[in-house]
Amino acid sequence: MKYEPVIGLEVHLQLKTKTKAFCGCSTLFGQRPNSQSCPVCLGLPGSLPKLNHEAFGHSIKVALALHCSVQKEIKFDRKNYYYPDLPKNFQISQYDKPVAHDGFVDISSCGKIKKIRIKRVHLEEDAGKLIHQTGGPYSLFDCNRAGMPLLEIVTEPDINSPEEAYDYLTGLKSILKYLEVSDCDMEKGSLRCDANISVRPAGSDKLGSKVELKNMNSFKAVRLALEHEVSRQMEAVSAGEKLQQETRLWDAGKAVTLLMRTKEEAHDYRYFPEPDLVPFVPDPSYVEDIRKTIPEMPDAKAKRFKERFNLSDYDIAVLVSDKAAADYFEKCLESYDNPKTVANWIMGDITAQSNLKNTGIRELGISPQGLAELLKMIDGQLISGKMAKEVLLEAIEKRCEPAQIVRSKGLEQLSDKGELEKIVKVILGRNEKSVQDYKGGKKNALTFIIGQVMRETKGKANPAVINEILKKSLGE
Ligand SMILES: [Zn+2]
């Protein structure tokens, strides 16, 4: 019998806000442990949570971009469980009335477009962090992360291969980055992903016992963990074993999934309405105002680029994958109308520098106009292409515009015909013997004369222009 995997993904996104989800504590990353907590974070008696307006706005923005319906009445609930990283013993989350539901993301996988349905988007708070001491008899607790706003984005089980899961995550991350609601940095934990996976006989519409996979800290790890889990489950069902509902952890070192616990059900969490936050109805005009702030999404941008610019699908995909690079590209074209050249420079030298410095394109300090100026100098034969690359590197190092480097170093090529003609005349007058040699058939005498012109102009003379003048002067 043939089996197929059925996969659903849960993405946890840390929202970029100044303060936490339900209190005024700062969300700055990497601060001294426990320096960002208050009675609300700790759930002390008498403290009251208050919903962060910015976090809620970000949630609506994501929901709308994922084509979800915003819930008519929004309600928060307490999810009760005991764990040492959760001082309150409950997490403020959403149970039956999440921020939004029933959306979709179109993903491009194996050259085809596939619709992945979004089941729900809900807002909750993060837990604190335990720092385990290797070999030590204790663990340390950092409360700074407790109460950070998290958005959970849950798909329907529409994903049928580890490859599709990877493509969904890549597409979703690109959308989320465009919305500028999170830094989507998996290393800092601001984007996390859990997967639900089961296998069933191909063509069946029944779902098998699902296994929840955790502890995957990159999209590649998600793909590897799913690949491993698909074969583990397929082997088991092929051998007639019955799988049970459970949670497994991905062990990246050993490249296997390990049993963590048998699965708990929703009723184990004793959800009940959060008594300190009243349900509320978002004003439709508020929602519409947020809709207006959603920028052009990556797929729409790719379509527009394809219609407008004569670029390959590969170039477009690379440019569009980074909103800052795509914006930079279009800004540069306003002053220099050659899309392919601009794309090559952005995807080549500029991306290489931003990768090297591990920074965004905007942070390199070269304005799109500055790059346009540099490209114009190459076209106008003021500098050579090779020189331009060196100028760009120096401009990035010195944090100034490329034109400033060219001017301060006097790098401009000398291409003025009238001026060069005068210089050539002087050189020819000084080197009559070489001129006679050349006319007598010694072709390499010309190389000597060109060398003399270059010396006279300190190497700045444009070789193409000198050649043209010399050939004319020497009667060719
Ligand atoms: Zn707090």
Do both 241 and 327 map to the same domain?
no
- Taking the centre of ligand 1 as the mean of its atom positions, its distance from the CA of residue 147, in whole angstroms, is 7
Q: What is the DSSP string of 449-463?
A: HHHHHHHHTTT-B-H
- Residue 435: C-alpha distances to residues 255, 374, 448, 474 (Å): 75, 38, 10, 8
Do both 365 and 441 map to the same domain?
no
Cα angle 99, 105, 111; round to 5: 170
Q: What is the CATH number of the domain that holds 429?
A: 1.10.10.410
Paired residues of 150 in beta bridges: 14, 124
Domain that holds residue 428: 417-473
Asked if residues 336 and 342 have their Cβ atoms less than 8 Å apart, the reply is: yes
Do both 331 and 263 map to the same domain?
no
- Position 476 scores a pLDDT of 60
Last residue of a domain, one of 363, 390, 409: 409
- Taking the centre of ligand 1 as the mean of its atom positions, its distance from the CA of residue 216, in whole angstroms, is 28
What b/e readout covers 265-279, taking b as 16+ CB neighbours within 10 angstroms?
Answer: eeeebebeebeebee
Do both 255 and 351 map to the same domain?
no
The residue with tokens 């420079």 is: 345
- Taking the centre of ligand 1 as the mean of its atom positions, its distance from the CA of residue 300, in whole angstroms, is 40
- Taking the centre of ligand 1 as the mean of its atom positions, its distance from the CA of residue 49, in whole angstroms, is 9
The count of structural domains within the chain is: 3
Last residue of a domain, one of 409, 429, 460: 409
* pLDDT tens, per residue, the chain with 476 residues: 788 999 999 999 999 999 999 999 999 999 999 999 999 999 999 999 999 999 999 999 999 999 999 999 999 999 999 999 999 999 999 999 999 999 999 998 888 899 999 999 999 999 999 998 888 899 999 999 999 999 999 999 999 999 999 999 999 999 999 999 999 988 888 999 999 999 998 888 888 889 999 989 899 999 999 999 999 999 999 898 888 889 999 999 999 999 988 867 777 899 999 999 999 999 999 999 999 999 999 999 999 999 999 899 999 999 998 899 999 999 999 999 999 999 999 999 999 999 999 888 999 999 999 999 999 988 887 888 888 999 999 999 999 999 888 888 777 777 778 888 899 999 999 998 988 898 888 888 888 888 888 888 877 788 788 888 888 888 76
Do both 121 and 259 map to the same domain?
yes
Do both 243 and 134 map to the same domain?
yes
Do both 86 and 194 map to the same domain?
yes
- Taking the centre of ligand 1 as the mean of its atom positions, its distance from the CA of residue 82, in whole angstroms, is 19
Do both 194 and 264 map to the same domain?
yes
- Taking the centre of ligand 1 as the mean of its atom positions, its distance from the CA of residue 41, in whole angstroms, is 4
Last residue of a domain, one of 375, 409, 443: 409
Q: Where are the beta strands (DSSP E) in 2-138?
A: 3-14, 69-70, 77-80, 90-93, 100-109, 112-125, 129-132
Do both 284 and 300 map to the same domain?
no
Cα angle 89, 93, 99; round to 5: 175
Report the distance separating Cα 295 and Cα 304, nearest Å. Answer: 14
Which of these, 423, 422, 421, lies nearest to 452 by C-alpha position?
423
Do both 338 and 435 map to the same domain?
no
Contacts of 460 (CB under 8 A, 6+ apart): 410, 411, 412, 413, 414
- Taking the centre of ligand 1 as the mean of its atom positions, its distance from the CA of residue 77, in whole angstroms, is 18
Do both 327 and 185 map to the same domain?
no
Do both 282 and 385 map to the same domain?
no
